């Protein structure tokens, strides 16, 4: 069921319309009429005969004509019967402004509303929303501000208060919108439904989301991925800190998942996550105004060395590639700048240059094929007419034959501020701080790179012996265990095609000796018991056993210690393992995220993980390419590239292992938690030496 009638209805009923000023039913009706809606409007009110010059009806069923959209603003207890009437009337979409549902703990009524809507093929927005704006059709069905500027940014918000405040802000800052949607409790229509609509909406170029929590994380990511290939999505996700997360949870009754997972998930589908509202709107403005770059080569033009350095540093940090063909730069720009200037990138026209220098250099840069984007830095100078500077920039950008992304940083006083406003009003994204200009350019490039990636996101076909895997799982279930034994977990990973050092369970010293002979010394012995979780804590792991004599002693010692510490433990025996040479120890974890389902975590093993929390997350499954990306995400990744004369480790093989493990955790939902700790990365290949798995409770 499409959302078309929610945005482009031919007729609207306002249920709870009122002729009393400052009532919500008054504000909505007035906004619909005054913002210039062209279709038919029907006020519904049990007591009144006429509202704002329109005939009022007691019930929507009394209206003879068809109604596409109903906006409901009446007390919660009357909503279900009215929604039923809407269904009977054949209404296509309902906006439930009323609050007093799941946000105060009443999810039951909400479920009922959705059931009614489903039965009649109707869609519901809300409850607990301020409404919908769709500027291309002059629709403002909200009780928020009226004169929304037309533009091409769509804004979807979970918070009503923030949404209304930001609508005001866009007007103040001259930002044009295509749509505003308040999603509230998301009983039916949620963020992914809206993305599916806005993705194909020709009037929308950029989508801005304010999210507190997601109910169906996977569905959202699928819609976002498809959308990102067509147009940029910018998101503000509240609840970044632990405390903030709690506030968000109680606010709309949705759980805020671990923030790291959110960031990772957004990244995976190309969503640009902004830290602040200000940043989000700056990016939205940039992405809505700016042409799409053809390539990565960026040029900086400046009249001050200092700001040039600031901007260059920011570019380096953010991954903006500065054009570095110095011979070409000299040949092209040297003749245009004063003798003391620099034609390297940044092009430094020096503090003596006037506004016309900016004009000449900018024109050249816009003409030159080798330049893909331009950052202009200007420190207000007495010799420059700042107002004219702004005029020239606007002119050149407007008249350029080849459109390129251009941003401006302007540091100055009162005149500077005026020029900034002028630039922004005329479609040139401009900022005070040079870093802000760079970050905004970065947002554009981030999206551009993502949208240009190879689009085939086909899932890998992983050969897994599922029969074998489930036979192991079922056996543990029969024994009433949720914890798998180490050799069981290892058998499962082997059935997924992962490389593990040889291992064999022994229940006597004789068996252990035999196993060791077969595997070959040196070996590692480990206690096996579902009751002993941390083996090495109790001396249950012995590495580097070189011969039979050492084995016998180690075997006895492990058994003695285990029985002493855990007299009641069910000891299954001792696992005899092939010893793996020294390498870098890695942890790969899989778990269930409440919003996104199976996620995979990666970090350096052992104490590093606990202390530094230097880990990366991804929503599973991921392919090898994403896994390589994930490896580069952690701060300590250089250890894998070899430090202090060590050789580079087999990162390729590590990525393959991470990808396989992510597919495994996605394909086998029975296993809700897995810790591969450690996986040892060698110069060639890598080996999993310890793994723990936990089954889902049934």
Ligand X SMILES: Nc1ncnc2c1ncn2[C@@H]1O[C@H](COP(=O)(O)OP(=O)(O)OP(=O)(O)O)[C@@H](O)[C@H]1O
Q: Which residues bind Mg ion (CB under 5 A)?
A: 677, 690
Q: Which is nearer to Mg ion, 56 or 587 (CB)?
A: 587
Q: Which is nearer to Mg ion, 139 or 609 (CB)?
A: 609
Stretch that binds ligand X, among 350-358, 526-534, 587-595, 634-642 (CB under 6 A): 526-534
Q: Which is nearer to ligand X, 265 or 586 (CB)?
A: 586
Cα→Cα distances 371→291, 384, 508, Å: 14, 26, 73
Count other C-beta atoms under 10 Å from residue 77's C-beta. Answer: 10
How far apart CA 666 and CA 619 sit, in angstroms, is: 9
- Classify residue 143 by its DSSP letter: S
Q: Which residue is nearest to Mg ion (CB)?
A: 690
Is the separation of the CB atoms in 575 and 489 below 8 Å?
no
How far apart CA 11 and CA 366 sit, in angstroms, is: 48
Closest CA to 663 of 503, 470, 458: 458
Residue 689 touches which member of Mg ion, ligand X, none, C-beta under 5-8 Å by kind: ligand X
Residue 535 touches which member of Mg ion, ligand X, none, C-beta under 5-8 Å by kind: ligand X
Q: Using CB under 6 A, which of 534, 549, 568, 644 touches ligand X?
A: 534
The minimum distance between CB 486 and ligand X, in angstroms, equals 7
Stretch that binds ligand X, among 121-129, 158-166, 647-655, 686-694 (CB under 6 A): 686-694
Q: Is 152 in the site for ligand X (CB under 6 A)?
A: no
Q: Using CB under 6 A, which of 190, 226, 491, 690 touches ligand X?
A: 690
Q: Is 541 in the site for ligand X (CB under 6 A)?
A: yes
The minimum distance between CB 540 and ligand X, in angstroms, equals 7
- Show the site string, 476-515: x = touches ligand X by CB under 6 A, - = not: -------------------------x--------------
| Residue 273, helix vs strand vs coil | strand
The minimum distance between CB 520 and Mg ion, in angstroms, equals 23
Q: Is 526 in the site for ligand X (CB under 6 A)?
A: yes
Q: Using CB under 6 A, which of 389, 677, 681, 688 touches ligand X?
A: 677
Sheet holding 503-506, edge to edge: 503-506, 571-578, 523-529, 541-545
Residue 524 touches which member of Mg ion, ligand X, none, C-beta under 5-8 Å by kind: ligand X
The rounded radius of gyration (Å) of the Cα atoms in the chain is: 32
Q: Using CB under 6 A, which of 535, 542, 618, 649 touches ligand X?
A: 535
Is the separation of the CB atoms in 50 and 153 below 8 Å?
no
Q: Which is nearer to ligand X, 253 or 678 (CB)?
A: 678
Q: Is 689 in the site for ligand X (CB under 6 A)?
A: yes
Please confirm whether the linkage preceding 412 is cis (ω < 30° from 0): no
Is the separation of the CB atoms in 481 and 306 below 8 Å?
no
| Residue 252, helix vs strand vs coil | helix
Instruction: Kindly identify the residues of this chain, within the stretch 585-614, that bind ligand X according to CB under 6 A.
Output: 585
Q: Which is nearer to ligand X, 168 or 684 (CB)?
A: 684
Q: Using CB under 6 A, which of 71, 206, 438, 524 touches ligand X?
A: 524
Paired tokens of 428: 């040139």
How far apart CA 418 and CA 281 sit, in angstroms, is: 20
Residue 543 touches which member of Mg ion, ligand X, none, C-beta under 5-8 Å by kind: ligand X
Q: Is 205 in the site for ligand X (CB under 6 A)?
A: no
The minimum distance between CB 606 and Mg ion, in angstroms, equals 9
Q: Which helix (H) or strand (E) holds 407?
A: strand 406-411
Q: Is 458 in the site for ligand X (CB under 6 A)?
A: no
**Residue with tokens 């590239």, as numbered in its chain:** 641
For the stretch 420-450, what's the b/e string if a residue is b when 16 or more beta carbons lie within 10 angstroms of its beta carbon? Answer: bebbbebebbbbeebbbbbbbbbbbbbbbeb
- Show the site string, 610-649: x = touches ligand X by CB under 6 A, - = not: ----------------------------------------
Give the HSE-up count for residue 84: Cα atoms under 13 Å, Cβ half-sphere: 7
Q: Using CB under 6 A, which of 580, 601, 631, 651 touches ligand X?
A: 580
Q: Is 577 in the site for ligand X (CB under 6 A)?
A: yes
Q: Is 665 in the site for ligand X (CB under 6 A)?
A: no
Q: Is 685 in the site for ligand X (CB under 6 A)?
A: no
Q: Which is nearer to Mg ion, 416 or 605 (CB)?
A: 605
Q: Which is nearer to ligand X, 56 or 524 (CB)?
A: 524
Backbone phi, psi, residue 36, to 5°: 100, 25
Instruction: Kindly identify the residues of this chain, within the stretch 398-427, that bind ligand X according to CB under 6 A.
Output: none
Terminal-to-terminal C-alpha distance of the chain = 35
Write the burial class of residue 467 (CB in 10 Å: 0-12 exposed, 13-18 middle, 19+ buried): exposed
The minimum distance between CB 522 and ligand X, in angstroms, equals 9
Q: Using CB under 6 A, which of 81, 352, 474, 536 touches ligand X?
A: 536
The minimum distance between CB 344 and ligand X, in angstroms, equals 50
Closest CA to 585 of 616, 602, 606: 606
Residue 366 touches which member of Mg ion, ligand X, none, C-beta under 5-8 Å by kind: none
SS3 per residue for 296-356: CCEEEEECCHHHHHHHHHHHHHHCCCECCCHHHHHHHHHHHCCCCCECCCCEECCCCCCHH
How many chain residues interact with ligand X (CB under 6 A)?
18
Pairing of strands 406-411, 373-379: parallel
Q: Which helix (H) or strand (E) holds 449?
A: helix 434-451
Please confirm whether the linkage preceding 78 is cis (ω < 30° from 0): no
Backbone phi, psi, residue 347, to 5°: -80, 115
Q: Which is nearer to Mg ion, 311 or 524 (CB)?
A: 524
Residue 579 touches which member of Mg ion, ligand X, none, C-beta under 5-8 Å by kind: ligand X
Residue 83 touches which member of ligand X, Mg ion, none, C-beta under 5-8 Å by kind: none
Please state at what angle helix 414-425 crosses helix 386-399, rounded to 10 degrees: 20
Q: Which is nearer to ligand X, 277 or 639 (CB)?
A: 639
Q: Which residues bind ligand X (CB under 6 A)?
A: 501, 524, 526, 533-536, 541, 543, 577, 579-580, 585, 677-678, 689-690, 692
């Amino acid at each position: 069921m499409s959302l078309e009638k929610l945005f482009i209805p031919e007729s609207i009923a306002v249920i709870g319309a009122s002729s009393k000023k400052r009532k919500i039913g008054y504000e909505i009706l007035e906004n619909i009429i005054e913002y210039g809606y062209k279709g038919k409007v029907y006020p519904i009110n049990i007591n009144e005969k006429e509202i704002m010059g329109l005939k009022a009806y007691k019930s929507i069923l009394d209206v003879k004509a068809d109604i596409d959209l109903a906006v409901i603003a009446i007390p919660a207890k009357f909503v279900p019967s009215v929604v039923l009437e809407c269904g009977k009337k054949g209404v296509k979409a309902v906006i439930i402004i009323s609050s007093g549902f799941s946000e105060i703990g009443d999810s039951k009524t909400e479920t009922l509303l959705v059931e009614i809507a489903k039965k009649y093929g109707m869609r519901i927005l809300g409850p607990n929303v301020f409404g919908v704006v769709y500027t291309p059709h002059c629709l403002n069905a909200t009780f928020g501000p009226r004169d929304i500027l037309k533009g091409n940014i769509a804004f979807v918000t979970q918070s009503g208060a923030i949404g209304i405040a930001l609508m005001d802000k866009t007007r103040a800052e001259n930002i044009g919108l295509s749509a505003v949607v308040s999603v509230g409790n998301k009983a039916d229509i949620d963020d992914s439904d809206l993305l599916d609509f806005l993705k194909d909406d020709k009037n929308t170029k950029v989508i801005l989301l304010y999210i507190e929590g997601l109910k169906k994380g996977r569905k959202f990511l699928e819609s976002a991925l498809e959308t990102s290939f067509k147009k940029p999505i910018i998101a503000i996700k509240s609840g970044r800190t632990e405390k903030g997360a709690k506030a968000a949870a109680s606010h709309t009754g949705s759980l805020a998942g671990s923030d790291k997972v959110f960031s990772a998930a957004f990244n995976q589908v190309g969503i640009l996550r902004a830290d602040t509202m200000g940043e989000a709107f700056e990016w939205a403005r940039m992405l809505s105004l700016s042409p799409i770059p053809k390539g990565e080569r960026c040029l900086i033009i400046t009249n001050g060395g200092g700001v040039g350095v600031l901007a260059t540093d920011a570019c380096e940090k953010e991954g903006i590639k500065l054009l570095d063909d110095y011979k070409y730069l000299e040949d092209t720009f040297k003749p245009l700048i004063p003798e003391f200037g620099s034609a390297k990138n940044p092009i430094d026209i020096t503090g003596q240059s006037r506004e016309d220098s900016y004009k000449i250099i900018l024109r050249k840069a816009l003409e030159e094929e080798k330049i893909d984007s331009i950052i202009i830095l200007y420190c207000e100078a007495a010799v420059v007419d700042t107002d004219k500077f702004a005029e020239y920039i606007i002119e050149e950008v407007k008249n350029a034959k080849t459109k390129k992304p251009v941003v401006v940083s302007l540091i100055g006083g009162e005149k500077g501020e005026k020029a900034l406003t002028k630039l922004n009003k005329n479609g040139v994204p401009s900022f005070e701080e040079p870093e802000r200009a760079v970050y905004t350019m970065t947002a554009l490039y981030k999206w551009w790179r993502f949208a240009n990636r190879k689009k085939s996101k086909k899932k890998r076909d992983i050969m897994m012996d599922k029969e074998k895997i489930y036979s192991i799982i079922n056996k543990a279930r029969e024994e009433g265990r949720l914890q798998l034994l180490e050799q069981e977990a290892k058998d499962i990973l082997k059935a997924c095609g992962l490389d593990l050092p040889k291992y064999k369970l022994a229940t006597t010293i004789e068996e252990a000796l035999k196993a060791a002979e077969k595997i070959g010394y040196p070996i590692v012995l480990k206690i096996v018991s579902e009751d002993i979780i941390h083996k090495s804590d109790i001396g249950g792991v012995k590495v580097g056993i070189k011969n039979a004599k050492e084995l016998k002693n180690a075997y006895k010692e492990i058994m003695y210690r285990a029985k002493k510490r855990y007299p009641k433990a069910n000891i299954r025996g001792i696992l005899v393992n092939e010893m793996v040479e020294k390498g870098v120890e890695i942890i790969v974890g899989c778990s269930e995220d409440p919003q996104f389902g199976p996620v995979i975590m990666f970090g350096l093993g052992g104490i590093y993980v606990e202390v530094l929390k230097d880990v990366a997350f991804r929503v599973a499954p991921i392919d090898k390419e994403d896994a390589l990306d994930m490896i580069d995400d952690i701060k300590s990744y250089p250890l894998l590239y070899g430090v202090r004369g060590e050789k580079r480790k087999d990162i390729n093989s590590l990525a393959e292992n991470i990808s396989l493990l992510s597919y495994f955790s996605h394909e086998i939902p029975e296993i809700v938690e897995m810790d591969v700790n450690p996986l040892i990365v060698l110069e060639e290949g890598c080996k999993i030496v310890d793994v723990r798995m936990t089954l889902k409770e049934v």
